[in-house]
Amino acid sequence: MRLRPGAPPVEWRVSDDLVPYEEAVAFMEARAAAIASGEARECVWLLEHPPIYTGGSSAKEQDLLEARFPVYRTGRGGQFTYHGPKQRVAYVMLDLSRRQRDVRAFVCALESWIIASLADFGVTGERRAGRVGVWVERPEKAKGRDGEMAEDKIAAIGVRLRQWVSFHGIALNVAPDLTHFSGIAPCGVRDAHLGVTSLADLGVAADMPAVDAALRRNFEAIFGPAEDS
């Protein structure tokens, strides 16, 4: 998923204040169009949102259990998810026509990015067939009805492509209020032995700058150089 040698580095943006969802979507729409037309370089934007629920293209109404926060319908892939303070959202605007026109390979690269970043904090993140995102095993929790290992989701992935330019991206739970997820069936998952977690919930005392540094380092290893905006 790396650009060819000599290509300009990806612009790396970090917002310290909470960013309204509508503002972020408007920026991504405009930036993706500019990238596709050759008028702007690729961009990764790290931010946090106020508490919201977003529903992707596969979202089912029955999975919105209680609209405790504003609900936004969005064109990204996936189902319902939560965004809020102390969750690091990374919006990824990359031109796959200059990298690799393979959606599955791109999602796999995003998963690898998250997994490598979690490893920097001693957390083993894993993929699961049929379940998008990154999961961690929780052997201390109750098993499933058939003896399945309890697992929690620590990061969600939802992307959209337009003219082979990506937008939307990933959401990594650093230390959000996990009770906020109770208003939805996250990504349509309802099994009692499958839940959500965060670095803080796993006992990892990582602040946002440390998480951002890990994300930057591992992004560059997979996708290529980035440069501060």
pLDDT score of 166 more than 70: yes
Q: Residue 208: its pLDDT value, please?
A: 98
Q: Tell whether 169 is in a known binding site.
A: yes
**Rounded Cα distance, 57 and 132, in Å:** 14
* Max CA separation in the chain (angstroms): 54
The mean pLDDT of the chain is 94
pLDDT, tens digit (0-9, with 9 covering 90-100), for 114-135: 999 999 999 999 999 888 899 9
Q: Tell whether 78 is in a known binding site.
A: yes
Q: Tell whether 79 is in a known binding site.
A: yes
Q: Tell whether 157 is in a known binding site.
A: yes
pLDDT, tens digit (0-9, with 9 covering 90-100), for 22-73: 999 999 999 999 999 999 999 999 999 999 999 988 888 898 999 999 999 9
**Rounded Cα distance, 41 and 51, in Å:** 30
DSSP-assigned letter for residue 82: E
Which of 169, 225, 163, 217 is closest to 2 using CA atoms? 225
Residue 187 known to be catalytic: yes
Q: Let me know: does 52 contact 21? Beta carbons within 8 Å.
A: yes
Q: Residue 7: its pLDDT value, please?
A: 85
Q: Residue 187: its pLDDT value, please?
A: 64
pLDDT score of 204 more than 90: yes
Q: Tell whether 74 is in a known binding site.
A: no
> Has this prediction a pTM greater than 0.85?
yes
Q: Tell whether 80 is in a known binding site.
A: yes
Q: Residue 82: its pLDDT value, please?
A: 95
Which of 115, 114, 80, 84 is closest to 189 using CA atoms? 80
Q: Residue 186: its pLDDT value, please?
A: 77
Q: Residue 31: its pLDDT value, please?
A: 98
Q: Let me know: does 220 contact 1? Beta carbons within 8 Å.
A: no
Q: Tell whether 171 is in a known binding site.
A: yes
Which one has a higher pLDDT value, 159 or 58? 159
Q: Residue 131: its pLDDT value, please?
A: 84
Q: Tell whether 124 is in a known binding site.
A: no
Catalytic residue among 10, 187, 211, 226: 187
